[in-house]
Amino acid sequence: MGLISSIFTLPIAPIRAVLWLGEVIQDQVEQQLHDPAVIRRELEEIDEAAAAGHITEDEKAAAQQAVLNRMIRPDTGAPPI
């Protein structure tokens, strides 16, 4: 029975591989998006841009809030705990 089911499911094997690859990529992106080191680096870049005069204080506050919101509330749509 294993040989027959393998023959019939063989045409959808590439689809399953693409779905698995998509899941792996999504996991990696989420890990990098919520990595504390990345968040800290982004906050430091915002501070440097404000110190250099590239952004205003309002833009700095908005950018920092966006980074902190991403850290506190993942993109799952669930409210923060």
Q: Is there a contact between 34 and 71 (Cβ–Cβ < 8 Å)?
A: yes
What local confidence, expressed as pLDDT, does residue 80 receive?
46
Query: What are the domain boundaries of the chain?
Result: 35-73
pLDDT in tens, the chain (81 residues): 578 887 888 888 889 899 999 999 999 988 888 888 988 999 999 999 999 999 999 999 999 999 888 878 665 544 444
State the DSSP string of 6-20. Answer: HHHHGGGHHHHHHHH
In sequence order, the 6+-apart residues with CB closer than 8 A to the CB of 32 are 38
Residue with tokens 């959808």: 12
What local confidence, expressed as pLDDT, does residue 36 receive?
86
Taking the whole predicted model, whether its pTM rises above 0.85 is answered as: no
The region, left, alpha or beta by phi > 0 then psi within -120 to 50, assigned to residue 15 is alpha
